[in-house]
Structure 1
Amino acid sequence: MARRKNCDAGRPSAAGSGQVRVRVRVRAASVGGMDRLTTRGRRQFRPPLPCLPGADAAGENEAPGEGAEGLEPGGRVCCSGWRGALAERTMIDAHRMATLPDAVENGVASMILRNGLAARPALADRAALQPGTAMSVTGAAGGVGMARSTPAAR
């Protein structure tokens, strides 16, 4: 695969920047609907070109920005950003990351956040579910359906 010389992943955040960004060495990335829309220029948010798609990934934290609490260099993480997860390395906001236990494979971890992030608004905002509310989930064979079923059961 040819390398793009004009794509810069950026640098870890410096003290006082107000935004904590972390450089991640990508080991696995998932491809989803948002990536499909991005590559076709059909998202409501259109990133500047050239744009490397890929919203979700799992890998190692290579360079935590100053102020990235709980993120150790070399630690395994899953992350969800707006673009760049299909690169070998990408920059992600620290608040869009989670540390991973060794038992979770990278391929699975690259899908965890997006499914959960998609399920939460459906349950909390659209359905306005409260603890103790009964609900029926049909067609929960995909990742979002499973993510909706798990918290709803509690």
Structure 2
Amino acid sequence: MTRKISFTLPAPFPLVNRITGYSHFTAARQKNDMQRQVAAAAYNMRPSVPFERAHVLIERHSAGTPDTDNLWGSAKRVLDCLTTPMPLKVRTPGARQRTKNKRGLSFIVDDAPKHLVLDVKAVKCRLCEQKTVVTITEIVGAEVVA
């Protein structure tokens, strides 16, 4: 049976054109804020085991429609919150342990193409109806998601 998770963030995710140029500390704070928003919106929806293969649809409902490359690049912060944190190999003895996808909430295993089919859509709406809708559908076997 195919599992499906859908949740709504209260605002459209920020576009790359708006978030570039900030300091490292401001960017980190914005990423942490995105993680908190996803965690709050998907409270009690996380699977016990991350989806090995999934189709993720991210719909950005906003008053204006961004260009395609800006839209897809901006979805990265939302997507990073859906992945599973993994410790990286420490090459030098005594070096600090680093983590890949440290803000991940373990909905999907990874955002690599072998684990993920991604769709990002822009939906034009009224100013009072702005939001972000994320739908994660597990892909089982050789199932193709359109």
TM-score band by shorter chain is under 0.3
Specify which structure has the bigger relative contact order, considering alpha-carbon pairs within 8 angstroms and separated by 6 or more residues.
Answer: 2
Larger radius of gyration between Structure 1 and Structure 2:
1
What is the TM-score with the length of structure 1 in the denominator? 0.25
